[in-house]
Structure 1
């Protein structure tokens, strides 16, 4: 394929298909699927991932903002799209033109969007967001506030220029299975049902009711309702360690780079900025490799991360630089310039996962894949072969 073998990510579309099918078979025949492809499909590339899932039968797509919705429409995604976050109300006409649904989450926002839609002579399809426990955006329905939320939602549904066809909430800790967290999730679900019941007494019904994210879809089948929102599981990642093994997921992303130089360091010789590493007794063999924090391999891996070369682990030595870093290859034979380095994925019998990344950096696997930079080409694999390459820098979409 025509791409520069410096640093690149491989995205296995067959794994994404497999993961979608694994989750789909857990749903009732009437339950729809929303594939959440925000943040460039969690760093996997929104176009190829979305078209793959569209062909697999995903019913909806979820994005964060209107820019992401435009990207999907430009890349031949025809299925319905829901913007899960904020869109400036003055873009009501653009929402209508794109045939994209917008989340409405407060009386003020609803009124502003309604006024803009009327001025522009359009109607905007909307899904109502209900806050049942995230304390983020949403009509506030926590604790004793369900009646007030229902009143505000009812008023929103009567606003000109808006068509409120869906309603949803978002679970805060569906990926935690301790008794307290499980009770909290069930409480959120009940608050959502209570709000729906209050609306139904007013004659207000919605075509789509949804609350389950990836973890909820795995752990709470009784809460699937009309649609589930599948995010991190599509990419072969468990929402949490507690979810591991609940579905036979296959990680879709691997990340590779290249050895650019090998040198022998005498004992005591320092490596990289700040001299945070010095060669130990007897000296060390150090390889420079062509990846750095600007590519998404974080500086916090300094002296803590490890990579795979020739199937063996090599420790990151010294500070990770913007575009390069060094690893200790002492004891790994026949290292040469141009050798492939596995940053993420399998090499021989060993593997490095996004969960390993997250453990080093004190975060979650979701964040790690989203940080892989746009100067890293995405190489798409199907049937074990390269099928396409997206290089955001050389050939931007």
Structure 2
């Protein structure tokens, strides 16, 4: 483990080997003729978009997906080549930059698509477009319910007549791939009801699958987007289980240990009372670093592979753990989630469940003041 990583109060260690393992594990479950799209939006779920993207490209990942124009530009500015898809809605005047830098854009409705097309024509360029279908998420996308199919199909055809937009992709988004296979199949049916009417358009990239439905990426779909599984979060896939490894491990440094000489309360609002003789450790990590306060009632950290329950409220910059009966010293690092120095694992999914949330939020909450340090064996 990198020794200089342990000089800061809190630190996030990132495993390049873990990320590579997860890419290969995801590929193991996919059809061989299906491309993998690595989702690196939100700074690669807090892991760092540029270093993550570089590793994904080294592993042969075909596409990268982001949510904003700024995220796409960050990758291009760092020299990341290959296809990049912006999943979110960008200003139409980004058309010139998108065409020049070969950044593919999503089109979710007719008025936006026509405005984007006009902007591309005025800029003397053409934008590769992926048309988004709303098959049941009820967010972005063209309607796919029977009464609206004529307007949807006619509108999409109009977008790709003439110049300005190039038909590249047709995609949608599962609403509950991890828990509702029947509805996922209904979403596929709705997608196909539009796709079959547009087969003459050159949609070379067709995608709907995500980390929770890797095995459902089959003809006519030829690309699958994966985000959370890349980072070791468990998407509860329908088929099959994935052997994923944590990529991010977040630690806080123990800066003081106390043995109570009498019964005392701990932290703000005095929510916890500990008896005389109890030992506590002050850990330099708090909610400004991304620790979720809701976790404090049932949460614990690992120190040298040992469970140390939280004692009292999580503060902005630090928290307290109960280390009575544990072999712990000042200067040790307490694990919030990930893998500790002993090899013990405290999964992000478990920590998130205790806080009443999901690992996606846990990863994205780790703040910028926590340094990210990539390690490789």
- Give the TM-score taking structure 2 as reference length: 0.93
Contact (CA 8 Å) 1:267, 1:278: kept in 2 or not?
A: no
2:210 maps to what in 1?
A: 213
Map 1:119-268 to 2 at 5 A: 119-158=122-161, 160-176=163-179, 181-200=180-199, 203-218=200-215, 220-222=216-218, 225-240=221-236, 246-268=241-263
- Quick one: structure 1 residues 375 and 48, their matched pair in 2 at CA, closer, same or farther if it must change by over 3 Å? same
Map 1:4-83 to 2 at 5 A: 4-83=7-86
Does residue 118 (structure 1) correspond to residue 121 (structure 2)? The answer is yes
Distance 1:109 1:159 in 2: 17
Structure 2 portions without partners, runs of 5+: none
Distance 1:55 1:10 in 2: 20
- Quick one: structure 1 residues 245 and 169, their matched pair in 2 at CA, closer, same or farther if it must change by over 3 Å? closer
Distance 1:40 1:5 in 2: 22
Give the aligned CA root-mean-square deviation in angstroms.
Answer: 1.9
1:389 maps to what in 2?
A: none
CA drift at 1:144 = 3.9
Distance 1:270 1:326 in 2: 11
SS of the aligned residue for 1:198 comes to coil
Distance 2:100 2:317 in 1: 41
2:92 maps to what in 1?
A: 89
- Quick one: structure 1 residues 27 and 360, their matched pair in 2 at CA, closer, same or farther if it must change by over 3 Å? closer
How many pairs are equivalent?
373
| Cα distance per residue 1:53-77 (max 9 Å; x no partner) | 1011111100011111111112221
1:338 maps to what in 2?
A: 331
- Give the TM-score taking structure 1 as reference length: 0.89
CA drift at 1:5 = 2.4
Which of 362, 367, 372 in structure 1 is aligned with 2:366?
A: 372
CA drift at 1:98 = 2.2
CA drift at 1:121 = 2.0
Worse-matched range after superposition: 139-148 or 242-251: 242-251
- Quick one: structure 1 residues 224 and 374, their matched pair in 2 at CA, closer, same or farther if it must change by over 3 Å? farther
Contact (CA 8 Å) 2:85, 2:105: kept in 1 or not?
A: yes
Distance 2:262 2:270 in 1: 14
- Quick one: structure 1 residues 363 and 191, their matched pair in 2 at CA, closer, same or farther if it must change by over 3 Å? same
CA drift at 1:238 = 1.4
| Cα distance per residue 1:273-328 (max 9 Å; x no partner) | 11111213x34211101000011111222233110112211111111111111111
| Cα distance per residue 1:213-261 (max 9 Å; x no partner) | 111114x243672111111111122113x65961221121111121011
SS of the aligned residue for 2:196 comes to helix
Structure 1 portions without partners, runs of 5+: 384-397
CA drift at 1:118 = 2.2
Contact (CA 8 Å) 2:217, 2:223: kept in 1 or not?
A: no
CA drift at 1:8 = 0.8
Does residue 357 (structure 1) correspond to residue 354 (structure 2)? The answer is no
SS of the aligned residue for 1:135 comes to coil
2:103 maps to what in 1?
A: 100
| Cα distance per residue 1:125-156 (max 9 Å; x no partner) | 11100111101000111354333321221122
1:293 maps to what in 2?
A: 287
Contact (CA 8 Å) 2:207, 2:223: kept in 1 or not?
A: yes
- Quick one: structure 1 residues 15 and 310, their matched pair in 2 at CA, closer, same or farther if it must change by over 3 Å? closer
Distance 1:102 1:144 in 2: 27
